[in-house]
Amino acid sequence: MDISEFYETFFEEAEELLGDMERHLLELDVDEPDSEQLNAIFRAAHSIKGGAGTFGFDVLQHTTHLLENLLDHTRHGELVLRRDIVDTFLEAKDMLHDQLDAYRQGDEPDPEAFERICQTLKQLALDEMGKKVGHDAPGAAPAAKAEPERNPQPESESSGASDGSAEGRLNIALLGIADKDRELLVEELANFGEIIERRGDSSRYEVLLETSTSVDDIEMVMCFIVEPEQLEIVAAGAPAAGVSEAEPTSGSAKSEEESEKGGQQQGEVTAKPPEKTPEQPAKAESGKPAAKAQDKAKAKAKAASGGESSIRVPVNKVDQIINLVGELIITQSMLDQTVSEMDATQAGSLVNGMSLLQRNARDLQEAVMSIRMVPMDYVFSRFPRLVRDLAAKLDKNVELVTEGESTELDKSLTERIIDPLTHLVRNSLDHGIESPDKREAAGKSRTGRLTLSAQHQGGNILIEVKDDGAGLNREKLLAKAEANGVPTAENMSDDDVWQLIFAPGFSTADQVSDVSGRGVGMDVVKRNIQAMGGHVEIQSRQGQGTTTRIVLPLTLAILDGMSIKVGKEMFILPLGTVLESLQPRKEDIYAMAGDDVVMKVRDEYLPVVAVHQALDVSEAETEPTDCIAVIVQGEGRRYALLVDDLIGQQQVVVKNLETNYRKVPGVSAATILGDGSVALILDVTDLHRLSRTKREAQSARRQTTPAKEVEV
């Protein structure tokens, strides 16, 4: 079997684990670390180490090993966390990520970087643990080295300080172990602490070990080598040990029931009490809280990761299913149409069957679409780190709040929204939120607040990036716009002024920093979001902050459409762009100079786009008053589209035209209608552009309604 087949799985898993690790590290409260979180971090490192070892990624294994050691001390409370230690851990995590990438590319990781991080970690271990050792417990001596080669299973963490860090003597009996193996085992045991006494023969060999490691952990490690039956571990007569280990049991009322759950190893230990130990009962029970903690940890790990109940599937497989289901839906509607033309009395069961099929097909489609949906957490989870690092770089205090992480969004969109969001977050940190001193002077708290939120709004998702910083500066924006040659007016509304920052090459930063300010940003953000079928708005109040709202469709694969008819051709308008439709009256249509036609809709003059003209449809209504005007909105502007007829509203599966053909002006994509024919989905803004260029070209032979007085 070729082990390299599993590389990809390992890489993906390791990446996720690193992500988890980072998240936990960032969430970690340095002063009062949550032991669950410490354990989660440790588990992640441990799992990566295991995998790296299996696949022979030595550098990765070694680095994780060092990190794991430190983490292990941390979770046992032997290493007191400080912010800079967390930073070092984060740095190590980044390094692991780099190493992982290198392996993924088939390279060896950068040896210098590896040296450096090893040095850093070792130094940290030496500094921190050395101090510790010097201070209190000479017995816990083998600080960095104390870590066993084969580490305990991830779940084996011992609950806090109860018996985990308790100093004590353990009497470990090895039953029926051959001499040569015994030496190895004893060596292994020596890793846990100091061996005080050893005696016996191959049938029963006893080792008296002074150690800070819990019975549980030792058992776990030893179980890699020997059968559980071959091992007996009991707390030895040292009084200190007896007290500390018996303590946790006194509180445990459910000890009996617990001991049943307590797992095989514990049962084993109780079952074979060696005559030598006076403290036997205490020892037997000492296993229980640990076992309990173990169960708890397992349950938590399960709940947290959900990993056991999910499968990893390549996205293209899912897409394929989605495509096929789309086909199924189309076939079903085709059949439906045929059946509806049949005599219902004769084909009664067929009609019934069809309606059942229709329902099932829709359910199937919905279920399949939901596979692609991922929670926004996928996107938001990368921001804590970014904010933390940036805030440190900019000397600002920023608190990141995320809301609505569980809001689901199409996977392809989540990937594409990351860049624009990153940009907005950087902007907020750099330009929005002020330095602590400035904030204080403005009567705000020194710590700025950046909120990322997501929520569903109809068929859309609304994502907000909100800061409580200085807000946009109207004068500065206007001045900058003028300097850049962007047309401005003194009496522009605030909203219009805010829109200016989406103009290309616009940056209001006084100085270009490496964070932002190069002016290649907001226009790209806007373009990217529009390319996803969404739009972006800015709200800002001087001194109170800025909110950027991104509205995106939930998925790109399905679109709510309005089907319209022009001549004999059917087109689809994205329903999201349609505001209303009305019958134009002759007196509302005005021909403007320069061939433009506008239509007055409730005191607003909208450019008229005659679809038949833009798309050269023959046999269409040409007289505006015989058409239906559909008022649509695109890129913040409104237009009146002249169409022959409105057919209805339907969900359509979006098909890319560019797969086999090319971009078509005025058209964003295509879809397949119930009768199997193709209909084009119109792009409102592009259509307007197209009709303008066409009208200019055709102006000579243009015939419009008699020109009216222009009242604009």
660 binds other proteins (CB under 8 A): yes
556 binds other proteins (CB under 8 A): no
> Which residue type occupies 84?
D
**Strands 569-574 and 678-682, how do they pair?**
parallel
For residue 235, the number of C-alpha atoms closer than 13 Å in the C-beta half-sphere is: 27
663 binds other proteins (CB under 8 A): yes
Q: How far is the CB of 666 from other proteins (least distance, A)?
A: 7
Closest to other proteins by CB, 329 or 630 = 329
Which tokens in the block code for residue 681?
């989905």
Which of 71, 672, 681, 684 binds other proteins (CB under 8 A)? It is 672
Which tokens in the block code for residue 534?
């969404």
Stretch near other proteins under the rule CB under 8 A, chosen from 85-93, 171-179, 225-233, 322-330: 322-330
557 binds other proteins (CB under 8 A): no
**In whole angstroms, what is the distance from residue 556 CA to residue 666 CA?**
18
Place of tokens 């806090």: 160
Which tokens in the block code for residue 573?
């308008």
Site residues for other proteins, 508-527, by CB under 8 A, read none
657 binds other proteins (CB under 8 A): yes
Q: How far is the CB of 642 from other proteins (least distance, A)?
A: 15
Q: How far is the CB of 539 from other proteins (least distance, A)?
A: 35
**Would you give the distance in Å from CA 589 to the centre of its chain?**
50
678 binds other proteins (CB under 8 A): yes
**In whole angstroms, what is the distance from residue 418 CA to residue 403 CA?**
16
348 binds other proteins (CB under 8 A): no
Q: How far is the CB of 492 from other proteins (least distance, A)?
A: 34
Q: What is the CA radius of gyration of the chain?
A: 35
Q: Which residues touch 283 (CB under 8 Å, ≥6 apart)?
A: 215, 233, 234, 235, 245, 269, 277
Phi, psi torsion values for 169, nearest 5 degrees: -105, 135
Which of 26, 86, 371, 664 binds other proteins (CB under 8 A)? It is 664
**How many residues bind other proteins, per CB under 8 A?**
31
670 binds other proteins (CB under 8 A): yes
Phi, psi torsion values for 459, nearest 5 degrees: -90, 15
Q: How far is the CB of 525 from other proteins (least distance, A)?
A: 23
Q: How far is CA 120 from CA 102, 116, 208, 474, 685, in A?
A: 21, 6, 35, 48, 56
Closest to other proteins by CB, 180 or 662 = 662
Which of 631, 666, 683, 686 binds other proteins (CB under 8 A)? It is 666
204-211 sheet: strands from edge to edge:
193-200, 204-211, 168-175, 231-235
Closest to other proteins by CB, 559 or 615 = 615
Closest to other proteins by CB, 133 or 321 = 321
Closest to other proteins by CB, 243 or 678 = 678
Which of 135, 180, 199, 662 binds other proteins (CB under 8 A)? It is 662
Which tokens in the block code for residue 206?
């006893």
Burial class (CB in 10 A: 0-12, 13-18, 19+), 406: exposed
DSSP 705: S
Q: How far is the CB of 326 from other proteins (least distance, A)?
A: 6
Which of 400, 409, 463, 690 binds other proteins (CB under 8 A)? It is 690
Closest to other proteins by CB, 322 or 450 = 322
Q: How far is the CB of 340 from other proteins (least distance, A)?
A: 19
323 binds other proteins (CB under 8 A): yes
Phi, psi torsion values for 139, nearest 5 degrees: -65, -30
Site residues for other proteins, 563-582, by CB under 8 A, read 569
615 binds other proteins (CB under 8 A): yes
**In whole angstroms, what is the distance from residue 405 CA to residue 547 CA?**
18
Residues that bind other proteins (CB under 8 A): 323, 326-327, 330, 569, 614-617, 655-667, 670, 672, 675-680, 690
